[in-house]
């Protein structure tokens, strides 16, 4: 029998909100397109160049869309199709952010981020975490864009090398904590070997796949590293169970 929270998460109301969310992004894109086309022509750009750029953009989008399709699988499994559609069609778009917010929401509500462990209150907390954690991007992008060129000058003193290290370290801190809680702690506390093995296998598979794609000089392969790593990790963990 379908759980109550899943009915709420995948009901008509949530899909309707998905339509509103995606619709607002589409509306902005159509308004921008109209202005860009109008003033592009006025500026002397050829209509053919614009058509070509649309074609190129659609072709270029195929790869990332496949990656997004794959990444969304995780979110659909965890929270249902409607929530995944709301968040990925016009939310932050980063599957990592969505999962961090989901995990933080579930943890704050004291439930597990699994279909069996989730509750209605857990779902509501996850949705609040997603909204409060992402609204700043929309506001900063929407309200402050007109002042961004000046802000960039002020922040330009940053060292890009240092920024790269800090960005990687922030992610290590966040995902390290989650990895310890979900992969290592169950082993130490309950002797549960399967999640630990799954974590290690996925870790190695991800590193191996990324290094391999670098060696083959095929960066497009990197889009699938998470899918490959979690499928291999889950399969091995299920066998160990």
Contact 133, 105 (CB under 8 A): no
Write down the least CB distance from residue 155 to another protein, Å: 6
Among 139, 193, 212, 218, binds another protein (CB under 8 A): 139
If binding is defined by CB under 8 A, does position 128 make contact with another protein? yes
Q: How far apart are CA 83 and CA 151, in angstroms?
A: 34
Which one, 139 or 218, has the nearer CB to another protein?
A: 139
Contact 234, 198 (CB under 8 A): yes
If binding is defined by CB under 8 A, does position 220 make contact with another protein? no
Among 1, 3, 32, 216, binds another protein (CB under 8 A): 32
Write down the least CB distance from residue 85 to another protein, Å: 4
If binding is defined by CB under 8 A, does position 132 make contact with another protein? yes
Write down the least CB distance from residue 241 to another protein, Å: 8
- Judged by CB under 8 A, the chain residues 46 through 65 that form the site for another protein are 46, 49-50, 52-58, 60-62, 64-65
Backbone angles phi, psi at 131, to 5 degrees: -70, -50
Contact 212, 221 (CB under 8 A): yes
Q: Count CA atoms closer than 13 A to 17's CA, side-chain side.
A: 15
Binding residues for another protein, rule CB under 8 A, total 166
Q: Which two tokens stand for residue 106?
A: 């579930």
If binding is defined by CB under 8 A, does position 182 make contact with another protein? yes
Q: Is the dihedral of CA 100, 102, 103, 108 positive or negative?
A: positive
- Judged by CB under 8 A, the chain residues 150 through 169 that form the site for another protein are 151-152, 155, 159-169
If binding is defined by CB under 8 A, does position 193 make contact with another protein? no
Write down the least CB distance from residue 216 to another protein, Å: 16
Which one, 184 or 221, has the nearer CB to another protein?
A: 184
Angle at which helix 12-43 crosses helix 81-90, to 10 degrees, equals 20
Among 3, 47, 113, 224, binds another protein (CB under 8 A): 113
x-marked contacts with another protein along 58-97 as a string, rule CB under 8 A: x-xxx-xxxxxx--xxx-xxx-xxxxxxx-xxxxxxx-xx
Which one, 50 or 221, has the nearer CB to another protein?
A: 50
Among 131, 193, 212, 218, binds another protein (CB under 8 A): 131
Helix (H, G, I), strand (E, B) or coil at 1: coil
Q: Which two tokens stand for residue 166?
A: 């800090």
Backbone angles phi, psi at 119, to 5 degrees: -130, 175
Chain centroid offset of residue 179 CA: 18
Question: H helices of 144-192, where?
Answer: 148-155, 160-179, 185-190
């Amino acid at each position: 029998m379908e759980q109550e929270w899943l009915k709420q998460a995948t009901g008509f109301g949530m899909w309707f909100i998905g339509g509103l969310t995606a619709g607002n992004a589409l509306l902005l894109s159509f308004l921008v397109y109209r202005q860009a086309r109008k003033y592009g022509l006025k500026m002397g750009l050829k209509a053919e160049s614009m058509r070509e750029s649309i074609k190129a953009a659609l072709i270029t989008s195929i790869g990332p869309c496949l990656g997004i399709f794959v990444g969304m699988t995780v979110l659909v499994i965890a929270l249902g199709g409607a929530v995944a559609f709301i968040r990925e069609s016009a939310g932050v778009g980063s599957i990592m952010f969505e999962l961090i917010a989901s995990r933080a929401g579930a943890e704050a509500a004291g439930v597990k981020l699994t279909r069996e462990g989730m509750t209605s209150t857990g779902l509501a907390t996850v949705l609040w975490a997603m909204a409060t954690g992402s609204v700043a991007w929309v506001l900063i992008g929407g309200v402050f864009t007109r002042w961004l060129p000046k802000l960039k000058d002020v922040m330009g003193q940053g060292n890009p090398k240092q920024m790269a290290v800090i960005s990687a370290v922030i992610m290590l801190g966040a995902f390290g904590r989650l990895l310890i809680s979900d992969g290592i702690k169950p082993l130490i506390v309950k002797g549960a070997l399967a999640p630990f093995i799954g974590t290690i296998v996925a870790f190695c598979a991800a590193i191996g796949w990324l290094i391999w794609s670098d060696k083959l000089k095929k960066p497009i392969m990197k889009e699938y590293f998470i899918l490959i790593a979690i499928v291999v990790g889950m399969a091995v963990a299920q066998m160990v169970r």
